[in-house]
């Protein structure tokens, strides 16, 4: 049996066959083959349970290997790391040539059409808007009850038939969408993965809400929602269908910049100067909006803190001070005191109620404003990469004459590159127009919701105070 070093604190979920371990602790691996990212371990007190495999470092290997072998393994690891980095780099940055200079766009694949709409280039939108509901989080088990997880129902409005998905499936979908569309379409990250506390009700609710937000955004995107991988996720028929679809999606070669080879704008080619201007404009806009959104988030966080911390405490203290004075008055022994003391006690209680309302309000309004802006922060965080691909392509086209002169490319290649960068620009414009129209809808909606709840909040306070007021009398 191998011994292992615990790298991070991990607190077991009760009733879930897990083992609580502390950073620096040494445990013994009792079963490395349980799968699902977990291994079974035993601590020094003899307790056995599951621990996330990322949380521990198995020592056995280095312990039994000669230093030479260890060095060799290290070398191999570094090599793989370099290959991996190169691949990522190729997709995102040195990518453009892959598309700009590819001999001929692959045949027979799905086409993504761009129309000229009123606002400029737009994606082809489906007649019926795809939508889905993420609901019914249920604790599932596997490995004969050894491991638990949360499974959600995902119900698309097309079939109305729920399919089951765990967080890791959403994560798989995210990775596929990022690979496939990331150069053209910002694919926002999923809500953070979390190991501890993941069975707490509050957390499950919050994660589901965020998964719903993410799915809604993906459904609303005409290109993403129309893709095979996304449709598979929403409508797979059975386990076999899902597995087959997964394998197919993982082998998809139309990823990275090659996505642009599927795009067909129904419009004349653009002047490279115009392409660059558009790209710069989008870059400035998304940067400015990113700043604005982050500013609003900072302000909102501070307001949240005040509303849930010092402010209700203060209203509570006002309420207590009124009630305290009222109880002193009650002790006066003076006749006809009751009307005043009842009224003051009631006013005091009203301020305590206001305190509670103030503390609870952010969950009812600010929460959605923050969630919306958090989503946009995530989305805007993807734009530098997406725009980076376009900028690299533009630079390549600008080098065209030099490359021809150096016989690195043919004059025909140069023409092809200009044509293809124009296609990329149409795609970026279509995406920006999609972004803008969604943004206008989202901000209208969230501001409406926020202000509506704020109105209710202030009206309720006014109503409560009016009732408190009516109890006082100077007659």
Q: Which residues sit at the interface with its own copies, rule CB under 8 A?
A: 118-119, 281, 284-285, 288-289, 291-293, 295-296, 299-300, 302-303, 306, 310-311, 314, 317-318, 321-322, 324-325, 328-329, 331-337, 339-340, 343-344, 347, 432-433, 436-437, 439-441, 443-445, 447-448, 451-452, 454-455, 458-459, 461-462, 465-466, 468-469, 472-474
Can you tell me the distance from the alpha carbon of 468 to that of 348, in angstroms, rounded to the nearest whole number? 9
In the complex, minimum distance from the CB of residue 381 to its own copies, in angstroms, rounded to a whole number: 16
Taking the complex as a whole, how short is the minimal distance between the CB of residue 336 and its own copies, in angstroms? 7
Work out how close the CB of 464 gets to its own copies at its nearest, in angstroms, rounded to a whole number.
9
Decide whether 185 or 344 has the Cβ nearer to its own copies.
344
Q: Distance of alpha carbon 164 from its chain centroid, rounded?
A: 20
Comparison of 258 and 270: residue with beta carbon closer to its own copies: 270
Shorter beta-carbon distance to its own copies: residue 167 or 322: 322
User: In angstroms, what is the minimal distance from the CB of 226 to its own copies?
Assistant: 23
Give the nearest distance from C-beta 97 to its own copies in angstroms: 30
Query: Residue 130's CB: how many other CB atoms inside 10 A?
Result: 21
Task: List, in order, residues 6 or more apart from 31 with CB less than 8 Å away.
Answer: 39, 40
Strands of 163-166's sheet in order across: 132-142, 147-156, 163-166
Q: Where are the alpha helices (DSSP H) in 331-365?
A: 338-364
β-strand partners of 133: 155
Half-sphere exposure of 320 (CA within 13 A, CB side): 7
- CB of 379: closest distance to its own copies in angstroms? 14
Cα angle 254, 413, 124; round to 5: 40
Choose between 266 and 463: whose C-beta lies nearer to its own copies: 463
For residue 178, give the nearest of 122, 259, 245 by alpha carbon: 259
Nearer to its own copies (CB atom), residue 331 or residue 407: 331
Q: How far is the CB of 89 from its own copies (least distance, A)?
A: 31
By C-beta, is 211 or 380 nearer to its own copies? 380
Closest of 108, 175, 100, 141 to residue 16, by C-alpha? 141
**For residue 82, is it left (φ>0), alpha (ψ between -120 and 50) or beta?**
alpha
Residue 121 sits at φ, ψ, to 5 deg, of: -65, 135
- Looking at the Cβ atoms of 4 and 380, the one nearer to its own copies is 380
Considering beta carbons, is residue 200 or 452 the nearer one to its own copies? 452
C-alpha dist (Å) from residue 107 to 91, 110, 159, 238, 418: 21, 9, 31, 30, 21
Residue 315 CB, nearest approach to its own copies (Å): 8
Query: Distance of CA 341 to CAs 73, 117, 174, 334, Å?
Result: 81, 69, 62, 12
Give 16 or 324: the residue with its C-beta nearer to its own copies: 324
Q: How far is the CB of 195 from its own copies (least distance, A)?
A: 34
């Amino acid at each position: 049996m191998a011994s292992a070093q615990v790298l991070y604190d991990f607190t077991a979920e009760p009733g879930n066959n897990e083992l609580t371990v502390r950073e620096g602790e040494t445990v013994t691996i009792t079963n490395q083959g349980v799968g699902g990212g977990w291994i079974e371990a035993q601590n020094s007190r003899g307790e056995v349970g599951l621990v996330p495999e990322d949380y521990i470092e198995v020592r056995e290997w280095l312990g039994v290997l000669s230093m030479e072998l260890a060095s060799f393994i290290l070398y191999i690891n570094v090599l793989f790391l370099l290959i991996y980095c190169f691949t990522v780099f190729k997709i995102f940055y040195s990518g453009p040539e892959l598309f700009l200079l590819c001999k001929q766009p692959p045949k027979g694949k799905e086409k993504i059409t761009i129309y000229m709409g009123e606002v400029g280039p737009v994606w082809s939108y489906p007649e019926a808007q795809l939508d889905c509901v993420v609901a019914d989080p249920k604790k599932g088990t596997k490995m004969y009850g050894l491991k638990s997880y949360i499974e959600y129902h995902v119900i698309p409005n097309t079939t109305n038939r729920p399919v089951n998905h765990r967080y890791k499936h959403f994560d798989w979908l995210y990775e596929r969408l990022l690979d496939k569309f990331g150069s053209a379409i910002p694919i926002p990250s999923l809500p953070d993965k979390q190991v501890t506390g993941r069975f707490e009700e509050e957390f499950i609710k919050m994660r589901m809400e965020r998964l719903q937000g993410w799915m809604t955004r993906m459904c609303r995107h005409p290109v993403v929602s129309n893709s095979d991988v996304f449709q598979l996720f929403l409508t797979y028929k059975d386990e076999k269908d899902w597995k087959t679809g997964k394998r197919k999606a993982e082998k998809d070669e139309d990823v990275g910049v090659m996505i642009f080879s599927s795009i067909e704008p129904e419009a004349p080619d653009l002047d490279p100067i115009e392409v660059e201007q558009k790209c710069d404009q989008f870059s400035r806009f998304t940067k400015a909006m990113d700043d604005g959104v982050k500013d609003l988030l900072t302000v909102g966080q501070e307001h949240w803190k005040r509303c849930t911390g010092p402010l209700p405490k203060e209203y509570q203290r006002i309420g207590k001070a009124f009630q305290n004075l009222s109880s002193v008055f009650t002790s006066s022994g003076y006749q006809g005191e009751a009307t005043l003391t009842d009224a003051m006690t009631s006013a005091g209680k009203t301020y305590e109620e206001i305190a509670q309302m103030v503390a609870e309000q952010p969950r009812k309004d600010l929460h959605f404003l923050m969630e919306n802006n958090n989503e946009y922060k995530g989305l805007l965080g993807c734009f530098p990469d997406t725009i980076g691909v376009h900028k690299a392509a533009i630079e390549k086209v600008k080098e065209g004459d030099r490359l021809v002169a150096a016989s690195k490319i043919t004059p025909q290649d140069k023409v092809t590159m200009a044509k293809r960068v124009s296609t990329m620009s149409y795609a970026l414009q279509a995406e920006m127009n999609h972004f803008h129209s969604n943004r206008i809808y989202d901000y209208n909606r969230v501001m409406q919701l926020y202000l509506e709840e704020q109105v209710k909040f202030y009206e309720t306070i006014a109503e409560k105070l009016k009732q408190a007021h009516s109890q006082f009398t100077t007659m």
